[in-house]
Amino acid sequence: METPIVKRKYTRKAIRNEPVDVMPVVDEIVKRKYTRKNKAISNEPEVAPVVDVPVPQKERKPNAWLIHTKKIRDENPNMSYKDILVLARESYKK
């Protein structure tokens, strides 16, 4: 019996006398078909879901720094906000 000719991937020459690994087929590969699962059908009547009522939140106390900068801005309407922050820093007391 003559040995088969095996070509390597990166060479153009055919190599003779190189053994070929032959493995017996054990099981055929079967591709599974994926299907959707059916929803469970029940005879019980559907009940409306319980809806949570949102709890009203308390109003937050305004920030003292922002109140101070608004006051300084009202006193100096022609100044830029950057200059107002510099003025407010000097006069702000915690």
Measured CA to CA in angstroms, residue 29 lies from 22, 32, 59 at distances of: 17, 9, 66
CA distance linking residue 87 with residue 73, whole number of Å? 10
User: Higher confidence at residue 35 or residue 7?
Assistant: 35
Please report which confidence band the pLDDT of residue 23 belongs to, taking 50, 70 and 90 as the band edges: low
Residue in 70, 64, 72 with CA at minimum distance from that of residue 94: 64
- Rounded Cα distance between 19 and 92, Å, is 90
- Give residue for tokens 């959707």: 36
What's the whole-model pTM score?
Answer: 0.40
- pLDDT band for position 16 (50/70/90)? low
